[in-house]
């Protein structure tokens, strides 16, 4: 019962006042819920990755590589920094990943002329050509998810808020 102050979290969401819930949260309910949540979040993320992996196999992309390609298909080219911010990944992960994407001929990397610290990642012709066949992928995933659009929207919303709060608290 050592929690009185923690409901003033950095990003208290608007909407329902949570005082009643937070009282209960002091009990064992919270422990169990948190435990179930880390199981389910972990498992769901990896299940999502699995289904993408099979769908992406023919394209020769891994799931994280696909996420990079999604951003490049949208923006054409992006500095590593931008990719990292949007994907919540650091250069320790992105550098070797981009190296592999470069090795398979999907992207090029070159130092920015304006700022020699920055590296600009651009699509190659082959990378651009992959966009069309890749359009079939999300359709396949949407079907496999088996949830109504409203639930998927709720999920996206809650996950986004959760990430923002956790990162704010961790920073």
Partner DNA sequence: CCCAATTCAATTGTGCACAACTAAATAGGC
Partner DNA sequence: GCCTATTTAGTTGTGCACAATTGAATTGGG
Give the interface with DNA as residue ranges (CB under 7 A).
Answer: 42, 46, 49-50, 53, 62-65, 79-81, 84, 88-100, 109, 114-119
In the list 4, 113, 132, 149, the residue contacting a second copy (rule: CB under 8 A) is: 149
**Pick from 121, 114, 110: which is nearest to 69 by CA?**
121
**CA 68 – CA 121 distance, rounded (Å):** 10
115-149 burial code (b ≥16 CB/10 A, e <16): eeeebbbebbeebeebeeebeebeeeeeeeeeeee
Instruction: Look at residue 1 and give the partner it binds from DNA, a second copy, none, a contact being a CB closer than 5 to 8 Å depending on partner kind.
Output: a second copy
Residue placing its CB nearer to DNA in the complex, 65 or 130: 65
Q: Is 107 helix (H, G, I), strand (E, B) or coil?
A: strand
If one asks whether residue 163 binds a second copy (CB under 8 A), the answer comes out as: yes
Contact letters for a second copy, residues 39-78 (x by CB under 8 A): xxxxxxxxxxxxxx-x--------x---x--x---x----
- Min separation Cβ 86 and a second copy, Å: 8
Nearer of residues 25 and 87 to DNA, judged by Cβ: 87
Phi, psi (rounded to 5 degrees) for 105: 80, 20
User: Which of the listed partners (a second copy, DNA, none) does 171 bind, with a CB threshold of 5 to 8 Å by partner kind?
Assistant: none
Rounded to the nearest whole angstrom, what is the least distance from the CB of residue 135 to DNA in the complex? 21
List the one residue from 57, 95, 111, 155 that touches a second copy (CB under 8 A).
155
Distance in Å, CB of 32 to DNA, minimum = 21
- Say which residues have a Cβ less than 8 Å from residue 60's Cβ, sequence separation at least 6: 104
How would you label 77-88 residue by residue, b for 16+ Cβ within 10 Å and e otherwise? Answer: ebbbeebbeebe
Tell me the helix, strand and coil percentages in the chain, rounded to 5. 65, 10, 25
By a kind-dependent CB cut-off of 5 to 8 A, residue 96 interacts, out of a second copy, DNA, none, with DNA
């Amino acid at each position: 019962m050592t929690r009185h102050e923690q409901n003033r979290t950095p990003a208290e969401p608007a909407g329902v006042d949570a005082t009643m819930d937070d009282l209960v949260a002091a009990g064992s309910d919270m422990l169990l819920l948190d435990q179930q949540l880390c199981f389910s979040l972990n498992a769901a993320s990896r299940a999502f990755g699995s289904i993408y992996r099979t769908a992406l196999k023919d394209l020769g992309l891994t799931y994280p590589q696909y996420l990079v390609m999604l951003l490049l298909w949208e923006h054409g080219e992006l500095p590593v920094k931008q990719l990292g911010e949007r994907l919540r990944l650091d250069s320790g992960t992105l550098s070797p990943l981009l190296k592999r994407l470069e090795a398979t001929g999907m992207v090029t990397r070159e130092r920015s002329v304006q700022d020699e610290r920055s590296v600009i990642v651009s699509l190659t012709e082959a990378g651009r050509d992959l966009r069309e066949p890749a359009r079939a992928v999300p359709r396949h995933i949407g079907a496999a998810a088996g949830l109504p659009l409203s639930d998927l929207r709720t999920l996206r919303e809650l996950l986004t808020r959760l990430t923002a709060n956790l990162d704010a608290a961790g920073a």
